[in-house]
A and B are shown apart, each in its own frame.
Chain A
Amino acid sequence: DAGVTQSPTHLIKTRGQQVTLRCSPKSGHDTVSWYQQALGQGPQFIFQYYEEEERQRGNFPDRFSGHQFPNYSSELNVNALLLGDSALYLCASSPMDFGARKTQYFGPGTRLTVL
């Protein structure tokens, strides 16, 4: 049973560029959340997608947007990159079972470096 997968593993961009990160949830999971983890910090919630809609959003600017596809996979898009966007971006998925929904399972992350 494959866990949460993310691509690419690493990415280098320059300021002002745009980036798209991808995530495939665990089998049987329908909800995807995205987090930003700066070096030496805990993950910060960006947003969550369920049934192809953004269900909740953290304190991130509109430059951060996302999408969920019918197969539950998801993309995170960041426009007009800033140096401060350099971080590990984590995707987490949650099960369809409502009783177990509160547990999130994380992927390995995408390391984004903005130069």
Chain B
Amino acid sequence: GDSVTQMEGPVTLSEEAFLTINCTYTATGYPSLFWYVQYPGEGLQLLLKATKADDKGSNKGFEATYRKETTSFHLEKGSVQVSDSAVYFCALTENTGNQFYFGTGTSLTVIP
């Protein structure tokens, strides 16, 4: 069945450091891929998405490229800020868009 695997956290970085959070997936068809962010005590906010192979999603300095050959969708940011501290979830949905499959989340803490 469909599934998402994310790198284990927590991740602690200094401000302005480079961020990578790994995400790989298993899917039967051609899924769309997403990154969501969850701040403490809040729901999930869509960060970026990619709907087909080689697409790059980007938003607020974050980027992720849909790599079909490696079934990956790694999240990157060149220079993190304290305000980026949150939990990040990788997710996929198949063509129907009905059910989303989420990873377990990666907690990021950025220290000044």
Bound: A92/B42 CA distance, A: 13
State whether B104 touches A42 (Cβ < 8 A).
Answer: yes
Give the residues from 91 to 115 in chain A that come closer than 8 angstroms, CB to CB, to chain B: 92, 94, 101-109
Bound: A94/B49 CA distance, A: 14
State whether B98 touches A108 (Cβ < 8 A).
Answer: no
Most chain B beta carbons < 10 A, residue from A58, A90, A103, A107 = A103
Interface flags, B1-19, vs A, CB<8A=1, else 0: 0001000000000000000
Q: In the assembled complex, how far is the CB of residue B102 from the closest CB belonging to chain A, in whole angstroms?
A: 3
* Residue count of chain A within 8 Å CB distance of chain B: 26
When distances are taken between beta carbons in the complex, the residues of chain A under 8 Å from B100 are 33, 35, 43, 45, 92, 104
Which B positions have Cβ atoms within 8 angstroms of A? 4, 32, 34, 36, 42-46, 49, 51, 89, 91, 93, 95-105
Give the 3 A-B residue pairs with the shortest CB-CB distance, closest first. A42-B102, A102-B97, A106-B44
- Known A-B contacts: A42-B102, A106-B43, A108-B42. Give 6 more (CB < 8 A): A42-B89, A42-B91, A44-B102, A48-B98, A104-B93, A106-B45
